[in-house]
Structures are given as C-alpha cells and as structure tokens.
Amino acid sequence: MSLIALSAGFLPLLDSVLLVLAREKGFAAAEGLDLHLVKETSWANIRDRAALGHFDFAQMLAPMPIAATLGLNPLSVPMITPMMLGLGNNGVTVSAGLWARLADAGAPATLAAGPVGAALKQVVASSQQKLRFGVVHQTSSHNYELRYWLMASGIVPERDIEIVVLPPPLLPEALGSGGIDGYCVGEPWNTVGVKNAGAHIATVKAAIWRSSPDKVIGMRAHWAEANSDIVAGLIRAVHHAAVWCGESVNHQEIAAIMAAPHYLGLPAELILPALNGQFDIGGGATAMVPEHFVPYAGAANFPWTSHAAWFYSQMVRWGEVEHKAERARAAAMTFRPDVYRSALAPLGVPMPLADSKVEGLLSAPTEVASTAGTLVIGPDGFFDGVPFDPDQVEAYIAGQRAP
Amino acid sequence: MPVQDLAILVIDENRIRASIIEDGLREAGHARVTVVNEINEVARVIERDMPDVVVIDLENPNRDRLEHFFTLSRALKKPIAMFVDRSDASAIEAAVEAGVSAYVVDGLKKERVKPILDMAVSRFNAFARLTRELEQARSELEDRKVIDQAKAILLRTRGLSEADAYKLLRKTAMNQNRRIVDIAQSLVTADSLLGPEE
C-alpha cells in the first residue's frame, strides 16, 4: 500500500512532539500517511505557507487559525482547527536581575501567578525604566496570557511595560544580553533560559490559566473539507501519539527523539522537564508542575469552541479586531469538535458531548458527559477567579475594557 | 518614471545576497535603497527612512518581530500589506518559492511595486543557484574522497586493481539499488569498526 504524502510545518518547540511522534513511532504510517515535517524559522512563514498550500497543515499558535478566518492577516484564508496539540507548556521567565527585585518584593519561588504578579506590580511601580517582555507572536496564547496576567495583577501593557516579539530560540539569548527583562514562551525555552542565561521561571501557563490550550493543528477549511478522510486519519494518528506521549514510561525516549538536530537540536535533559513537570526554576530552586504539559489526559486534544471564543475576546480586548456578534460566532466555529469526534468515533474513546464549557467552573477534576466510557476533565479557569462564559462574550469583553 | 522615488528597505542577514539585491535595484534606477543586516537596527532605520517597500528573506527568524513592529510603528502612516496584490497568486507563489517576503505600504499601485518584487525574486533565485552549485561541487569532492578510501580498502584486503575495485563498488550499488558513494561509505565504516585498533 502506498502512503499518502502530507507536508506540515512546525517550530522547534516541545509541543511539536505529537506530530513528531506520529511520524517517528509509526502512528501516521499506520493510518496510511507519510508525514513530512518541515522545521520553520517564524510563525509568519508557517502562516503564509499554510495559507498558500505549501503545507497541508501546520503546528500553529491556537489564535492563528482564528485570525486567518477573521481576515486579520495578509493572505488570509479560512482555517480550521480540528485538534489541539495538548494543553499548557508555556512559562514566564525573567532575568536574574529582575527575579532578585521580585523576590525582594515578596515573590515566592513557587510559580504562583497571583503573588508573583503582585510583586511584579511593585517592581514596575518603582522602576525608572519600563520593563521589556518578549512574546513569540502578537496573535499567540503567550501574548494574551501574559497580558491577562499583567492586567489582573494591576499592570497595564504599553503604559507600564513594553511587549516585543522575538522568535522562541532567540529569547534566552536576548534575556542574557539584557535586551529584555522577561519573556513568555513554550518549553524548552524557559529551561534553556535557566540553564544558559541564569534566568528564573516566575510563573507558568498552568498557573495563569489551568487546562488551557496553546498549539493546535491548523489547516485550510477548503482543504479539510475536500480531504476529510485524510484529516480523520491524521487526527487518529496524532491521537495515538498523544496517548503514547502521556505515558511517563516513554518520557526518556521522547526526550531523545526530540533532541535530534532536525527537531529541537538540544540536549535531552533540557527537554525532559516539560514532559515530567520537574523543573529547575533557577537559583537552585525546583518546582513540580504536574499539569505543565498535558498531551492527552482530560480531553487535552478536544477543540473546545469556548477556547476559540476566549482568544477572540482577547483580540477584541487588545484592539486587533472590532467586536461583532457574527465575528464572535465565526471565531468560535474555527475550532471543530465535530470533525474531531467523527474521526475518533471508530476508536470508542471517551470524548466530551458538549462543544463548549464555562472556563473557571471546575475547581476540581470532574466527570463530564462523554461519547463513551468515563471522562474526567479540569480543573480549569483563570488565576484571578473571573469565569469566562462563552455565551456571554459581549459582557465579558465589556468587563475587560477598564484597566 | 516615478518608480525611482520609492524608498526601499532590504533586510537580509546574508550580506552577499543583500548586496546583490541592492545592486539590482540600483541598476533599475532606484536611488533610495537601504540595506540592513542587523535586525536590531531595523526600528531606527524604519523611523528614519519611512520605506514604501520592505523586502525580507523568508529564512529570517525575525519576520514575526518585524511584523509586530509594523503594527506599532508611528512612522508608517498606513498599515503595511504583504505583497503587491493578494489576487496575484503566481507572483506570491514565485516570491515564497524563492524565499522572499515583501511588505508594501498600503495604497501603492501594483505597477510601481511589481518590478521591485520581481527583481528581488530573480536575484534570490540567482543567488540560490550559485550557492547550490557550490554545495554540489563540495559534496562531489567529498564523494570522490570516500570512493577513493573504499577502493584503497579493496586494494589492501582483496588485492584488486583500482579499476576492478571500482567495478565491484558499482556492481554492488546497482544490485542494491543504492548510490556508489553509499556503498563506499558503508565499506569505510565497516573497515574502521573491524580494523585493528589504533
């Protein structure tokens, strides 16, 4: 049987791991797919080449397919997200100098978003110069969650601090050379900052917004429709990779695979923390973050339309798009739980019956209605306790306006 | 021709390629061309020169940073759109194939900018051809070295003549449907593993 060739772009980040495993462990081949992975240098390239069809699909920042569907980019074509590449994986890392000031202001070395944010507010207030933070892209979960954390801590981006964009591999170096004071990025680039630039991990995505998505599979809506069998096969292949990735017995092997020059090109010991949650957070301190990167458990691959709606609310919040009810609907419908469910139906795995959920409703792991068997998800929601109800997007946006 | 009045910024960390593009633009009559090799200078140069057209290589990891800077910059009065005309699919395709990305101040007429993009694309392709040929020449040299080593091993261990050694390598390659250099490399590797310790 000859395999169907599929080409996909990715950036050197740990959360490309499910695509890498789909290829390297034969899950893609088992679905009749010959998966070609192309390492790219910028999210702009991923976006443009996916739009032009150079890539059949790509690892994308969760808000990217939404921005494409809303026509916010040059070369915009409608995109869909039929599957998430896991939950979590980001952290906020600061320079040794900034960490010393945060610690003086009472920041605990526990990664807790609230107390570290409160300390940052004090430091910002007493700084002569604006602190500068790096994120990987404007339309990224990193940008939105960093800004959310800052705002909820009483710090107004642009007024109180500066946010710049840099590609992930260049962030640790920029921190080391003093160009920036901190950054929000996916692993392994927080760990690299700790090891190579004497940095300190201040907080993590799992503390700012629990059970939250970061990278997705993005593809052109027309292509997905015309190739529904291929898309279903791809979803099954990545599903098997996600299950396999979630088993701790495989972590060493996964780190070794990801260490290869054509994937991350970094020593395996810098890759392992993101997988097992055991972090060296700087200055000899360690922290255990069990939810740091969740490849499969708790419906981690399920594309909740409410997640898309939240990203949309942040695009409105930061002036990237003006709110209109039909835009909010189009944004939410970029995520396609129906495509995900129909692809995995033959496997009989438990999937949520609902398409969306209220963020911040679940404070403990909770069993939810599912297609088969038992499914436990959560806890979810934001560190400041403000819930997000996807049916009340307008009110949520209005409530966010005031700094 | 009013085309020459356009301010063009070329961002390329590859200095040789950047100067090739700059030369091409100057030959075409563009006087206001600025080349930036170092991304940290870009913000300052954009404020100073207010470019109408920005050309950047696709391999540049700083594209995201540049695009974000465009959204912040007050110097650029109008938003910058990528490529001349979204409907011109073949031009976009050619640019991406060549590895060029272009940003254009919104509102500029297509016929004013198209020649600039075409020039950048053709120079990028010319440069790629040159470097590809250089790589090819280098790898052929490497291949010859490995094949010579393999022949020497066959001379030493099986007493074959040089011509017969080469024939044997070629026959094996054909039988296994592999390249001669791959067979030679296997032989060299095996010999180093099995040979006497140094």
Return d(Cα B144, Cα A6) in angstroms, integer: 35
pLDDT given for residue B176 in this prediction: 87
Q: What is the mean pLDDT of residues A3-7?
A: 96
CA angle B53, B96, B116 (to 5 degrees): 30
Which of these three, B132, B155, B183, is where a domain ends?
B132
For residue A299, give how far its alpha carbon lies from the nearest alpha carbon of chain B (Å): 31
Q: How is domain A90-210 classified at the architecture level of CATH? A: 3-Layer(aba) Sandwich (3.40)
Residues B30 and B118 in one domain: yes
CB contact under 8 A, A52 and B93: yes
Give A196-215 pLDDT, tens digit per residue: 999 999 999 999 999 999 99
Lowest pLDDT segment from A168-182, A226-240, A264-278: A168-182
Residues B164 and B189 in one domain: yes
Indicate the pLDDT class of residue A67, thresholds 50, 70 and 90.
very high
Closest in A49, A54, A137 to B64, CB measured: A137
Mean predicted lDDT score pLDDT of chain B: 82
Residues carrying CATH 3.40.190.10, chain A: 4-88+212-262+295-343, 90-210
Residues B18 and B93 in one domain: yes
Residues of A in contact with B86 (CB under 8 A): 74-75
Closest in A44, A54, A179 to B64, CB measured: A44
Residues B29 and B124 in one domain: yes
Contacts of A43 (CB under 8 A, 6+ apart): A11, A60, A61, A64, A136, A137, A140, B64
Residues of A in contact with B96 (CB under 8 A): 48-49, 52, 54
Residues of A in contact with B62 (CB under 8 A): 42, 166-167, 170
pLDDT given for residue B83 in this prediction: 58
Return d(Cα A161, Cα A146) in angstroms, integer: 12
How many domains, in total, are found in chain B?
A: 2
Give residue A161's identity as a one-letter amino acid code.
Answer: I
Return contacts of B23-27, CB within 8 angstroms, 24+ apart: B24/B119, B24/B120, B24/B122, B24/B123, B25/B116, B25/B119
CB A91 within 8 A of CB A190: yes
Indicate the pLDDT class of residue B51, thresholds 50, 70 and 90.
confident
Which DSSP symbol is given to A386?
-
Higher pLDDT, A243 or B139: A243
Residues B157 and B96 in one domain: no
Which of these three, B108, B132, B156, is where a domain ends?
B132
Residues B126 and B141 in one domain: no
Return d(Cα A45, Cα A35) in angstroms, integer: 19
Q: Is the pLDDT of residue A305 over 80?
A: yes
Residues B114 and B177 in one domain: no
Return d(Cα A109, Cα B99) in angstroms, integer: 45
Instruction: Please tell me if residue B140 touches chain A, with a CB cutoff of 8 Å.
Output: no
Residues B128 and B139 in one domain: no
Q: Is the pLDDT of residue A391 over 90?
A: yes
Lowest pLDDT segment from A102-116, B39-53, B155-169, B178-192: B39-53
Backbone angles phi, psi at A159, to 5 degrees: -75, -45
Which of these three, B132, B156, B176, is where a domain ends?
B132
Q: Which residues of B100-116 are buried (b: 16+ CB within 10 A; e: fewer)?
A: bbbbbbeebeeebbbbb
Indicate whether this complex's ipTM tops 0.85.
no
Higher pLDDT, A385 or B28: A385
Residues B146 and B125 in one domain: no
CB contact under 8 A, B61 and A52: no
CB contact under 8 A, B65 and A43: no
Residues of B in contact with A185 (CB under 8 A): none
Consecutive H or E run containing A396:
helix A393-400
Q: Is the pLDDT of residue B84 over 70?
A: no
For residue A165, give how far its alpha carbon lies from the nearest alpha carbon of chain B (Å): 5
CB contact under 8 A, A164 and B68: yes
Q: Is B184 exposed, middle or buried (0-12, 13-18, 19+ CB in 10 A)?
A: buried
Q: How is domain A4-88+212-262+295-343 classified at the architecture level of CATH? A: 3-Layer(aba) Sandwich (3.40)
CATH of the domain at B30: 3.40.190
Residues B128 and B154 in one domain: no
Return d(Cα A43, Cα A46) in angstroms, integer: 5
For residue A113, give how far its alpha carbon lies from the nearest alpha carbon of chain B (Å): 26
Q: Which of A136, A134, A169 is nearest to A261 (CA)?
A: A169
Lowest pLDDT segment from A19-28, A42-51, B60-69: B60-69
SS3 B51: coil
CB contact under 8 A, B65 and A166: yes
Q: What percentage of chain A reaches a pLDDT higher than 70?
A: 99
CB B49 within 8 A of CB B7: yes
pTM of the model: 0.86
Residues of B in contact with A170 (CB under 8 A): 61-62
**Token output for B15:** 């200095």
Residues of B in contact with A164 (CB under 8 A): 65, 68
Return d(Cα B105, Cα B119) in angstroms, integer: 18
Residues B62 and B111 in one domain: yes
Instruction: Please tell me if residue B74 touches chain A, with a CB cutoff of 8 Å.
Output: no
Instruction: Please tell me if residue B130 touches chain A, with a CB cutoff of 8 Å.
Output: no
> Which residue(s) pair with A49 in the sheet?
none
Q: What is the mean pLDDT of residues B101-125?
A: 79
Closest in A42, A74, A165 to B82, CB measured: A74
Quote the domain boundaries for residue B159: 135-194
Look at the block and give the residue holding tokens 């954009």.
B46
Residues B9 and B92 in one domain: yes
Q: Which of A55, A226, A54, A218 is nearest to B89 (CA)?
A: A54
Residue in B12, B54, B64, B78 to test binding to A, most A beta-carbons within 10 Å: B64
